[in-house]
Amino acid sequence: MRRIEPKEAHIKPLPVPDADSQVYWDGLREGRLLLQHCNTCGHVQFYQQDICRHCGGEALERRAASGRGVVHSFSVVHRAPGPAFKQDTPYAVLLVELAEGPRMISSLVGGDPMAVEFDMAVELVCESINDQVVLPRFRPTGA
């Protein structure tokens, strides 16, 4: 992992794809949140990896998620983890349960962080950070 130096402290950490995840980050650049479906046992998993975590099988198929989910839990950050996120506070970190089953970490866009509730319906927003990176974020459904 690349280390963050103090002179870069104001820069938000961005994902550096690896051999497993390159296809996931490429998919987001095309507006698709890719999940893996196991053709052996039917398990659906997030994140992209080489084997099915449930049965150990290798026959995995990538399919785009619907982008719909609900807030399984959340926490509104008032004290940021470092200078890069300070100007964003308060912001809501979401533990989203996707309609397909897997959960993922994201954060809220386009809504009041203090108005987030359990089981609130949210939908995917592919947010371009730069030429290379698109982050999967979520907004209240219909917002």
Instruction: Kindly tell me which residue out of 81, 130, 131, 142 binds another protein, with binding defined by CB under 8 A.
Output: 81
d(C-alpha 126, C-alpha 133), whole Å: 10
Amino acid identity, residue 59? A
Least distance from another protein to the Cβ atom of residue 107, Å: 4
Answer yes or no whether residue 36 interacts with another protein by CB under 8 A: no
Q: Which is nearer to another protein, 79 or 142 (CB)?
A: 79
Q: Which stretch binds another protein (CB under 8 A): 34-42, 60-68, 100-108?
A: 100-108
CA distance 63 to 44: 10
Maximal CA-CA distance, the chain? 48
| CB of 89 closer than 8 Å to CB of 118 | no
The total of other beta-carbon atoms located within 10 Å of residue 48's CB is: 20
Q: Minimal distance in Å, beta carbon 49 to another protein?
A: 11
Residues found near another protein in the complex (CB under 8 A): 1, 3-6, 9, 12-18, 21, 46-47, 72-82, 84-85, 88, 90-91, 93, 95, 102-107, 118, 135, 137
